[in-house]
Amino acid sequence: MDITVHLEEGPQYSVDTLDIAQNVVFDDEELQSSIEVIPGEIHDKGQVTADAEAVEKAYQDSGYVDAVVTPQITLDKEKKTTHVVYDISEGDLKYLREIRITGNDVTKDEIIRRQMLLIPGERYDGSAVDESEKRINNTRFFEKVRITLDETDDELFTDLLVNVEEGKTGTFNFGAGYSTEDRLGVYSEVRLNNFDLLNFPTFSGGGQQLRLRVQVGDRRDEYNLSFTEPEFLGYPLSFGFDLFDESYRVRGAARYREDTRGGQIRFGKALSPYVTVQTALRVQETDLSELDWYVHPELRRQARESTTVANSWQIERNTLDARFDPNYGSLHILAAEVAGFGGDHEFLRFEHDSSWFRSLGDAKKLVLSLRARHGVITEYGSSDFIPLQERYYAGGTNTVRGYRNRDIGPKIREYWFWGDRFAIGGNARSIYNLELKYRVTDIFRVYTFADAGGVWEDVGDFSPGDINYSVGAGIGFNVPMFGPIRVDYGYPLNPGRHQSSSGRLHMSTGFRF
């Protein structure tokens, strides 16, 4: 059976005039900033409708909840032109009377209310409501979040109804994972993202985060406990602590063991919906062991237990649309750390980390991201070196793919005058990652990337010619009840004399090493 569709296009019309009618609150110039239709261009019915919605949204953002914008089109068939008039019914300015929350059978009301950017008594703001809904979703406490308006018996006020559907916020994972840097490992992890320390016996609904992880592997062993209270003692101040005991067996030209144990306490404060500051006090013991007696003096002088006491400060600006798998926005972090305070090491550290995301196309399947990281560390006072565990390294899954782990930067011979060369880290580092992601399905991703990075002994040694580059592609899965799986293949573009020139596979499964 054949189906024939007959289409008569008719003449093409262009926009002759554009007017705005019955607007009192805003003048024409203010409203035209939301309109993209321009006289003289081809008439686009879809864009006219979108502009009407944009003007309507501008009114709602200013408290005019009931504003209605109706585009009226008049045709001039002789001139083949249109006359567009946006007819506006502004309605009354509304204020928020009450926020009512329903569906939260587990989560306390105040946990949701502190994500709201509006408080009763304020003028209604549509953008603030949209942003509040995004903030509630980003807690990942709920399966669904829906915010609607509810009329009141007072024409000046409206209510907000926040309806949520509780989600699963606690996970227990165990199994095995593999990465090209750390090899095979087994792990067990408990993560409670809506924890409540004082709510016996369910211990849920308080918005706290608790995480306990144990990992044992071929090269890395980790024992970690973390706790965070977003509002400490009812004040808008976050508090948290971390305890850790980690060991890493370095393998390559040199073979030795790095042990790190200690803890830190953290305090944070939100300065705005997008900007937070945080400070932390870290106490850490480190040890370098399993060294041959004839190794290079640079390693030998660090073969002892030592203590680091450090205070760090950081400021963060986050405009990402989602905490996980973002489509657009940026994240910027500036951090500084000073070590001393009676410890064995005295040093200063300054770091910068910025990421940008932008979706390409209306479907948001393509996302372009760029990340730039810079770090500088220098000793002061009685210290004459930086511990290996505090230095910067590059090469591998999380920095410059296509190169071996820690393969970029200063190297020394294992036994002073002879032996293979291996990385000892540096006091300055720059890393850049450009990535294009395509969402094939909700759980499957395809990536292509370009990486660049360099490590220098001191910041004064920086040279653009020392930067290593790579390109590659990868695939990723986000498997429910298991977590992310990602495989990348990177190819080095300018390997040095003591670096491999062949491509390298980078793989991580089960959990992030």
- Read off the pLDDT band of 181 (50, 70, 90): low
C-alpha span between 166 and 446 (Å, rounded):
31
In 3D, which of 242, 240, 232, 111 has the Cα closest to residue 169? 111
Report pLDDT digits (tens) over 376-425.
Answer: 999 998 888 888 889 999 998 889 999 988 889 888 776 666 666 777 88
Whether residue 176 contacts residue 161, with contact meaning beta carbons closer than 8 Å, is answered with no
C-alpha span between 63 and 58 (Å, rounded):
9
Torsion sign across C-alpha atoms 278, 453, 448, 505: negative
Whether residue 23 contacts residue 31, with contact meaning beta carbons closer than 8 Å, is answered with yes
Decide whether 14-89 matches 95-166 in CATH topology: yes
C-alpha span between 239 and 245 (Å, rounded):
21
- Read off the pLDDT band of 309 (50, 70, 90): very high
Stated as kind and residue range, the H or E segment containing 112 is helix 109-113
Query: Does position 323 have pLDDT exceeding 90, yes or no?
Result: no
In 3D, which of 131, 137, 97 has the Cα closest to residue 117? 131
- Read off the pLDDT band of 510 (50, 70, 90): very low
Query: Does position 277 have pLDDT exceeding 80, yes or no?
Result: yes
384 or 148: which leads in pLDDT: 148
How many of the other CB atoms lie within 10 Å of CB of 258? 19
Q: How does DSSP classify residue 43?
A: P
Residue 279 pLDDT: 97
Q: What is the CATH number of domain 14-89?
A: 3.10.20.310
Query: Does position 121 have pLDDT exceeding 60, yes or no?
Result: yes
Report pLDDT digits (tens) over 41-69.
Answer: 899 988 999 999 999 999 999 999 889 99
Residues in the chain: 513
Whether residue 189 contacts residue 168, with contact meaning beta carbons closer than 8 Å, is answered with no
C-alpha span between 145 and 401 (Å, rounded):
39
Per DSSP, the three-state class of 45 is: helix
C-alpha span between 162 and 37 (Å, rounded):
36
C-alpha span between 179 and 485 (Å, rounded):
10
C-alpha span between 374 and 428 (Å, rounded):
8
* 239 burial type by CB count under 10 A (0-12 exposed, 13-18 middle, 19+ buried): middle
**95-166: CATH topology:** Ubiquitin-like (UB roll) (3.10.20)
Give residue for tokens 């030795």: 256
C-alpha span between 146 and 104 (Å, rounded):
12
Whether residue 484 contacts residue 474, with contact meaning beta carbons closer than 8 Å, is answered with no
Query: Does position 191 have pLDDT exceeding 60, yes or no?
Result: yes
Mean pLDDT highest for which of 184-198, 267-281, 376-390?
A: 267-281
C-alpha span between 460 and 106 (Å, rounded):
55
Residue 512 pLDDT: 32
Q: How does DSSP classify residue 90?
A: -
The first and second tokens of residue 282, run together, are: 């870290």
- Read off the pLDDT band of 199 (50, 70, 90): confident
Whether residue 453 contacts residue 460, with contact meaning beta carbons closer than 8 Å, is answered with no
Q: Kindly calculate the radius of gyration of the chain based on its CA atoms and give it in whole angstroms.
A: 29
Pairing of strands 95-102, 157-166: parallel
Report pLDDT digits (tens) over 452-496.
Answer: 999 999 988 999 989 999 999 999 887 765 566 788 999 999 988
Query: Does position 511 have pLDDT exceeding 50, yes or no?
Result: no
Scored b (16 or more CB within 10 A) or e, 199-226 reads eeeebbbbbbbbbbbbbebebbbbeebb
C-alpha span between 158 and 153 (Å, rounded):
9
Residue 424 pLDDT: 85
Query: Does position 161 have pLDDT exceeding 60, yes or no?
Result: yes
48 or 181: which leads in pLDDT: 48
Domain spans of the chain, in order of start? 14-89, 95-166
* 509 burial type by CB count under 10 A (0-12 exposed, 13-18 middle, 19+ buried): buried
C-alpha span between 408 and 425 (Å, rounded):
8
